[in-house]
């Protein structure tokens, strides 16, 4: 055997060994392999990828149009003007009955949604489920009787950095487009896009219009749903982020079961990141894990025995680097069972079994303020464990939380936002929704209001 043949045989042997230990991942070893095509994967996947068109009517007040002289001079009607805002995204067919998953931000506030298939047919769609916390939404095609091609979801925990992936979508509205790259990183938790930050990063070109489209692996399965890019120019710069398929699966399952909201496990504990200073204090070699900052009495965490200052290091055997990683791992577990959590307590390992159950949603007493006041049109609720979990609040927080704001009402014009906590109005402490209803019944010339937004206290004075 010549040296060249020996080297080639050795390379084949090494490749076979690598494939056996790396789930059939094979490095190309010849020019012929480099000329291999992704066409069979694309042909399999493309029929299940759709374009999503969303439109909403926006009413705008133009102060010039309230001036009768201006209206008469220019011959335009007064009052509000309506404008149609449109957004474009992509989606994936996940059920043959016509169920499509896309990004929440693609259809947020939409009055009309249409879905265009790869064969150019268009269908009206209804929004079945919206989940802002994950930036995911599920649509259903209207008035259809046929079966549609679908895309199978992979176990995204099997993905590895360096895996080849394809991104499919409708960038800039030019039409369905395929780009390729690799998985650049896993478990990106400092992106700041959604409540559950645990993204797959890729260098496959992703641009505006790709949102909601699939990131697929070399088996043709969905490994993630493209949702955002990091860009200084507005176009692709090789840093894109996808929501892992395991999170997509949770939201799709909720929609399939007829739910309009996603029910998730509730821990009942506040976690914080481990800084280098904290790591030094704890005597651990590197700043990793999730440190327990507080535990809600009676919560699953409390009943399982989780304690203040415990350091969570793994969940079901998977290492935990920070609180975001824990949140993702925890909420993608199915309700009804238990999860095994390992903590470091006083330098010793302790294993706990935490039940997977939803947060209680009793006593919220959600109401919409209708009296003439700065709160008119605001929907507010008491801070129950479920509300606290949704808005990432301490359950002991005093006040009521804004859960919604109607358009073109006083509350919207003043600037109240979903998640604001109202604590004091005209010197009256607001502990429950009934307090706010009572204090707003009496008209006032001035309204002195204390609001907590993003952890910061804001004091404002408004005219009546």
The backbone torsions φ and ψ at residue 302, rounded to the nearest 5 degrees and listed phi first, read: -65, -45
Spatial CB neighbours of 121, under 8 Å, sequence gap ≥ 6: none
Instruction: Supply 359's token pair.
Output: 């947060």
Please tell me the total number of residues recorded for the chain in this structure: 464
Work out the number of other CB atoms within 10 angstroms of the CB of residue 219: 11
Asked if residue 317 lies in contact with residue 296, where contact means CB atoms within 8 angstroms, the answer is: no
What is the C-alpha to C-alpha distance for residues 247 and 268, in angstroms, rounded to an integer?
21
CA–chain centroid gap for 290, Å, is: 21
- Report how far apart, in Å, the C-alpha atoms of 172 and of each of 42, 121, 181, 409, 443 are: 20, 19, 19, 34, 50
Strand partners, 352: 341
CA atoms of 442 and 425, how far apart (whole Å): 12
CB distance 378 to 421 below 8 Å: no
Helices (H) and strands (E) in the chain, counts: 12, 25
Answer for the pair 203, 238: CB distance below 8 angstroms, yes or no: yes
The residues annotated as belonging to the active site are: 105, 135, 211
Looking up tokens 């759709």, which residue turns up?
A: 50
Give the span between the Cα atoms of 301 and 304, in whole angstroms.
Answer: 5
Q: Distance between CA atoms of 127 and 140, rounded to whole angstroms?
A: 7
DSSP class per residue in 124-173: EEEEEEEETTTTEEEEEESS--S-----PBP-GGG--TT-EEEEEE-GGG
Beta-bridge mates of residue 115: 52, 123
Using alpha carbons, list the distances in angstroms from residue 239 to 175, 184, 199, 204, 328: 22, 8, 12, 8, 21
Identify any residues that bridge with 137 across adjacent strands, giving them in sequence order.
102, 130
- How many angstroms separate the CA atoms of 97 and 99, rounded? 6
């Amino acid at each position: 055997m010549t040296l060249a043949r020996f080297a080639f045989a050795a390379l084949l042997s090494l490749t076979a060994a690598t494939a056996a230990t790396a789930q059939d991942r094979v490095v190309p070893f010849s020019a012929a392999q480099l000329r291999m095509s992704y066409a069979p994967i694309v042909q399999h996947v493309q029929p299940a990828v759709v374009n999503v068109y969303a439109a909403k009517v926006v009413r705008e007040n133009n102060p010039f149009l309230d001036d009768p002289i201006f209206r008469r001079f220019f011959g335009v009607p007064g009052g509000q003007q309506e404008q149609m805002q449109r957004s474009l995204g992509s989606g994936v067919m996940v059920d043959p009955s016509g169920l499509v998953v896309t990004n929440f931000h693609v259809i947020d506030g939409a009055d009309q949604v249409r879905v265009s298939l790869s064969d150019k047919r268009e269908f009206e769609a209804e929004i079945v489920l919206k989940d802002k916390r994950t930036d995911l939404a599920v649509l259903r095609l209207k008035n259809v009787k046929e079966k549609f091609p679908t895309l199978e979801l992979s176990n995204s925990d099997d993905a590895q950095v360096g895996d080849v992936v394809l991104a499919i979508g409708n960038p800039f509205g030019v039409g369905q487009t395929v780009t390729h790259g690799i998985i650049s990183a896993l478990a990106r938790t400092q992106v700041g896009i959604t409540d559950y930050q645990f993204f797959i990063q890729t260098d496959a070109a992703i641009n505006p219009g790709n949102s909601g489209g699939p990131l697929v692996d070399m088996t043709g399965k969905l490994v993630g749903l493209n949702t955002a890019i990091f860009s200084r120019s507005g176009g692709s710069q090789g840093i894109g982020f996808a929501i892992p398929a395991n999170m997509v699966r949770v939201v799709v399952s909720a929609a399939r079961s007829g739910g309009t909201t996603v029910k998730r496990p509730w821990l009942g504990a506040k976690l914080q990141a481990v800084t280098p200073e904290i790591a030094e204090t704890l005597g651990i070699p590197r700043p990793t894990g999730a440190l327990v900052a507080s535990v809600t009495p009676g919560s699953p965490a409390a009943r399982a025995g989780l304690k203040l200052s415990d350091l969570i290091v793994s969940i079901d055997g998977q290492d935990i680097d920070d609180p975001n990683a824990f949140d993702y791992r925890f909420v993608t577990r199915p309700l009804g069972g238990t999860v095994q959590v390992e903590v470091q307590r006083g330098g010793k390992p302790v294993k706990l079994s935490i039940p997977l159950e939803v947060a209680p949603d009793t006593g919220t007493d959600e109401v919409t303020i209708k009296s003439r006041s700065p709160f008119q049109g605001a929907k507010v609720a008491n801070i129950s464990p479920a509300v606290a979990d949704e808005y990432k609040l301490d359950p002991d927080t005093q006040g009521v939380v804004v859960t919604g704001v109607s358009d073109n009402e006083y509350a919207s014009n003043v600037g109240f936002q979903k998640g604001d906590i109202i604590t004091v109005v005209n010197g009256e402490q607001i502990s429950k929704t009934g307090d706010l209803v009572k204090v707003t019944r009496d008209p006032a010339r001035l309204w002195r209001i204390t609001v907590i937004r993003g952890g910061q206290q804001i004091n404002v004075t408004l005219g009546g």
